[in-house]
Amino acid sequence: MTSDRLAPRAWRAYFEGSRLLENELERRLKATSGMDLGDFNVLLVLSEAEGGRMRMGDLARALAFAPGRLTYRIGALEREELVLRRPSPDDRRGTDAVLTDAGRRRLRKARPQHARHVDELFLGSLDDDALEVLDRVFGPLRARMLGRADSSD
């Protein structure tokens, strides 16, 4: 049998493999779309929101970005006119980030290329069984982690 220290081995493979995968995805995304994974995800999450519009705080939570980081990134995207800022209609403390048409176009162009990279490097080599386990493991994990948003323990 395969030496039953399975959990540590699986963890190590997962941890290191993930990092390598993400590095390479980032490298390719930059090469093909001139954008890093962070900004890509800002645009992606925004594009899925009603009206391509979202509160800064919600966006930060969805991306697992610290608040100062999101402010900085949205600033950069604003300079490229991919996103713009609008005061929130309902709360005068609030700011909405809004995806511009240029932002949508940029995403529409980057998205299939990124999807291809993900397939080539990762999904393409997985059978249905593996996909199901991935979904079954990481879906609830994500939910749990979002749940403990700041239960601060």
Chain residues in the site for its own copies (CB under 8 A): 6-7, 9-11, 13-14, 16-21, 23-24, 64, 118, 121-123, 125-126, 128-142, 144-146, 148
Q: What is the DSSP letter of 49?
A: S
Q: Judged by CB under 7 A, does residue 115 bind DNA?
A: no
Q: Judged by CB under 7 A, does residue 65 bind DNA?
A: yes
Q: Judged by CB under 7 A, does residue 107 bind DNA?
A: no
| CB nearer to DNA: pick between 86 and 136 | 86
Minimum CB distance to its own copies, residue 18 (Å)? 6
DSSP string of 79-125? HTTSEEEEE-SS-TT-EEEEE-HHHHHHHHHHHHHHHHHHHHHTGGG
Question: Is residue 52 left, alpha or beta, with left meaning phi > 0 and alpha meaning psi from -120 to 50?
Answer: left
Distance (Å) of CA 12 to CA 8, 17, 94, 118: 6, 8, 42, 21
Minimum CB distance to its own copies, residue 45 (Å)? 10
Task: For residue 67, give the 3-state DSSP assignment.
Answer: helix
Task: For residue 34, give the 3-state DSSP assignment.
Answer: coil
Binding site partner of 94, from DNA, its own copies, none, Cβ cut-off 5-8 A by kind: DNA
| CB nearer to DNA: pick between 8 and 51 | 51
Contacting residues toward DNA, per CB under 7 A:
30, 36, 38, 55-58, 60, 65-74, 76, 85, 88, 91-96
